[in-house]
Amino acid sequence: MTKTAIVTGGGSGIGYATAMKLADQGINIVIVDINDEHGKEAVRILKEKNVDALYVRADVSKSADVKKYVEATMDNFGRIDYFFNNAGISGSGGYFLDTEIEEIEQIVGINLLGALYGVRYVAEIMVKNGGGSIVNMASSAGVIGQTTVVTYSATKHAVVGMTKSLVAEYAKDGLRVNAVAPGPTETPMVKAYFDANPEMKASAEKGIPQQRLGTSEEVAELVTFLLTSKAQYINGEVVRIDGGFTNSK
């Protein structure tokens, strides 16, 4: 039977690149995004790859929206095999004491609550059906401290803890949960951050031993590997993909 994957934030960046790579393996894809234009365009391209694809608009910070995309997946495909829990935002890039409370709440709502809601509803189905594979989106800011991203970093450290603890509870039920921790990567979210903080791009590139930003496709290769059956004995890991950035800290 054809397998099915959910990709949140699948309309652009790493989510989009991962959806395309999963589709190349013949996997049906559910694209979850807040941007209708991006989400619908991703589905159009996926269908050209001769896989079945569905777009569900959702604000992942709202549990009802998360439940909706999970229910839509089950209604259309009857199964969830893979889940890339990817949707997130970085914030404005200011120093923490200059950050408005509303921005803190927004980042926590999307990056942390959205991730928790996702695994809550998806893992429930996976465990009932004998297992499945989840990859959570962490960050280099989830494994080391970085300036101008205090709230973002807090949410990504939390995603790391969530990943490890889910495995402690549910690996026995066939659940695999891993996380990826990209360093600075050429995505729309990172571009917006660097546009707002141009001095940070040069600083970031200088601080990466490979002297360049990563690409969405490079991260998608790792996510696809971790999600699929080739990685059955990798569980509870947080895999860094950052050109040596965090190793140099």
∠ CA 228-232-236 to the nearest 5 degrees?
A: 100
Cα 11 to Cα 8, 42, 131, 151: the distances in Å are 8, 6, 26, 24
Assess contact for 216 and 187: CB atoms under 8 A.
yes
Sign of CA dihedral 88, 13, 220, 72: positive
Secondary structure (3-state) at 78 = coil
The beta-carbon contacts of 228-231 under 8 Å, at least 24 apart in sequence, are 228/22, 228/25, 228/82, 228/133, 231/133, 231/176, 231/178
152 is catalytic: yes
Among candidate residues 152, 170, 193, 233, the one labeled active-site is 152
Residue 195's CB is within 10 A of a number of other CB atoms, namely: 10
**Whole-angstrom Cα Rg for the chain:** 17
Q: Show which residues are catalytic.
A: 152
